[in-house]
């Protein structure tokens, strides 16, 4: 049996799409059961805050292209 890279790639993409859809459905069910949106995990919130703080600290060193 010959290895078919194209067919393998198609099957992997299909399976990935199925898993994404299932995860989305589960998230919607979880959200419906909770009745309110969940807050992001602490590490996500902290990481986002640190990135924004770093961008704010470096705002003068790296001016944005829209400021010109």
Residue 67: per-residue pLDDT: 52
At residue 60, the pLDDT reads 83
pLDDT digits (tens, 9 = 90+) for 7-60: 899 999 999 999 999 999 998 888 888 776 667 788 888 999 999 999 888 888
SS3 sequence of the chain: CCCCHHHHHHHHHHHHHHHHHHHHHHHHHHHHHHCCCCCCCHHHHHHHHHHHHHHHHCCCCCCCHHHC
pTM of the predicted model as reported, rounded to 2 decimal places: 0.46
CA dist 28 and 41 (Å) reads 17
pLDDT of residue 64: 66
């Amino acid at each position: 049996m010959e290895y078919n890279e194209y067919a393998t790639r198609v099957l992997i993409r299909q399976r990935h799409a199925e898993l994404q859809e299932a995860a989305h459905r589960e998230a919607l069910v979880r959200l419906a059961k909770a009745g309110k949106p969940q807050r992001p995990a602490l590490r996500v919130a902290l990481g986002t805050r640190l990135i924004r703080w770093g961008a704010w600290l470096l705002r003068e060193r790296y001016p944005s292209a829209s400021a010109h």
